[in-house]
Structure 1
Amino acid sequence: MIPFSEFDTRGYETVDVAAGYGAWAQTYERTVEDLMDIDLLERLTGPEWASVRRAADLGCGTGRTGEWLHGKGAQRIDGVDLTPEMLEIAKQKGAHESLGVADATESGLESGAYDLVISSLIDEHLPDVGPLYEEAARLARPGGWMVIVTYHPQFMITAGMPTHYTDGEGRSYAIQTHVHLVSDHVRAGVAAGWRLAEMHEGIIDDRWLQLKPKWEKFKNIPLSAVYAWQR
């Protein structure tokens, strides 16, 4: 693992995941753009979302991913997250059959029950991605899928920007951030018994620059990635 501290250009005070997202919950969806994750999910040719009978949404947060999945026809979605404040917002969306406080790597959900296990923008908070892939393998039925959206290590290293939020008084805080290389994901997925079926990288393009003009210096650098794995 490469320590993110070697690249950090912000030097914000760092808080743990539960505290950080608890404080960020009410403004989270104002700062996370669909280009970062939903746009990548839309590119995948598999799985067939409407054929998903049960999905496990690990690190479901405010329910953005679950709401998107529900809109695509997924029938039952169970979500877990570390942060009660985020889950309260997800509950209001009504896309999940069940929601519970749990670590994404120890979800407590039923083994072998899910057509799809999905997580979005949570891996940077894990010291090691291996346990996440292992938990997804435990949850998935034979032939099931794991889809994971991640921050791209190239952007994290080049920009040195941790996951962070700004509180009501204008103070910025970083949430514990780790860099995971593409090879870290591939090794972890293969070790857990997954087969990589598809991958896409989302670059900082003109759409991003309309939202973030100061990111011109990062143009054409990959910001996020999606991996689709199958058992």
Structure 2
Amino acid sequence: MVDFADFDTRGYPMVDVRTGYAQWVESYEQTVEDAMDLAVLARLAVPEWASATRAADLGCGTGRTGAWLRRQGVAAVDGVDLTPQMLERARARGAHERLVEGDLAATGLDGGAYDLAVSSLVDEHLADLGPLYREAHRLVRPGGLFVSVGLHPYFIMAAGMPTHFDGADGAPVAITTHVHLVSDHLAAGLAAGWQLAEMREAVVDDAWIALKPKWERYRSHPVSSAYVWRR
């Protein structure tokens, strides 16, 4: 098992997921770049988004992903998140039919009720990937998909940078971060009964450098990864 502490170059004070996102909620939309996740989802070839009548948005946060799914033609989206403050923002956004406060390992959503489950920028906060993959498998009907997108493990290790934000006093605060290798995702997905249908890795390119000029030193390094699993 890879420990993020072995790579941490920042040494920011670290808080748990619920605490961190409750504090980050005010500036979250202004600091998370679509290039990290939504742009990667848009390049996937296997998902036919508009064919999904109902999707489960796992770790829905402020509703960014749910709103994106609706724009792609997904008929209905239910969301689950651990942080009440994030759910308040998602509720105001109005992209979800149902929003549930809960753990991604046991969402309380109906089993076999979804054509699609999606998790975005979630896995780095999980100590163990197994429960997420198993719960997604329970939620998705046969033939359905589970799509997971997040930070590439290589980038977390190379940059030594945890998920973080600036607190109310302007000082950086880190949220519990874990490193999961590509093989960890494959092992967890296969063990849960999924079949891998597509994988895509995105690198730091010109578009990224335009957003974050200081990332020039990471040019061509993998920054995001996405997995498409079929039940």
When the two structures are superposed, what TM-score results if normalisation uses the length of structure 2? 0.99
Please name the residue that 2:89 is paired with.
89
Q: Secondary structure at the match of 1:60?
A: coil
Gaps of at least 5 residues in structure 1 are none
Please name the residue that 1:77 is paired with.
77
Gaps of at least 5 residues in structure 2 are none
Q: Deviations over 1:148-167 (max 9, x none)?
A: 00210110000000001101
Please name the residue that 1:129 is paired with.
129
Q: What is the 5 A alignment of 1:146-185?
A: 146-185=146-185
Please name the residue that 1:203 is paired with.
203
- Cα offset, 1:46, TM superposition: 2.1
Q: Percent identity?
A: 60
Q: Secondary structure at the match of 1:85?
A: helix
Aligned-partner Cα distance in 2 for 1:205–1:76: 33
Q: Secondary structure at the match of 2:220?
A: coil
Please name the residue that 2:18 is paired with.
18
Aligned-partner Cα distance in 2 for 1:72–1:88: 23
Please name the residue that 2:223 is paired with.
223
4+ long deviations beyond 6 Å? none
Amino acid at match of 2:119: S
Q: Deviations over 1:72-113 (max 9, x none)?
A: 111111101000111111111111000011011111100111
When the two structures are superposed, what TM-score results if normalisation uses the length of structure 1? 0.99
Aligned-partner Cα distance in 1 for 2:203–2:9: 21
Please name the residue that 1:143 is paired with.
143
Aligned-partner Cα distance in 2 for 1:2–1:109: 31
- Cα offset, 1:139, TM superposition: 0.5
Amino acid at match of 2:177: T
Aligned-partner Cα distance in 1 for 2:140–2:212: 38
- Cα offset, 1:216, TM superposition: 1.0
Q: Secondary structure at the match of 2:162?
A: coil
- Cα offset, 1:136, TM superposition: 0.4
Amino acid at match of 1:83: T
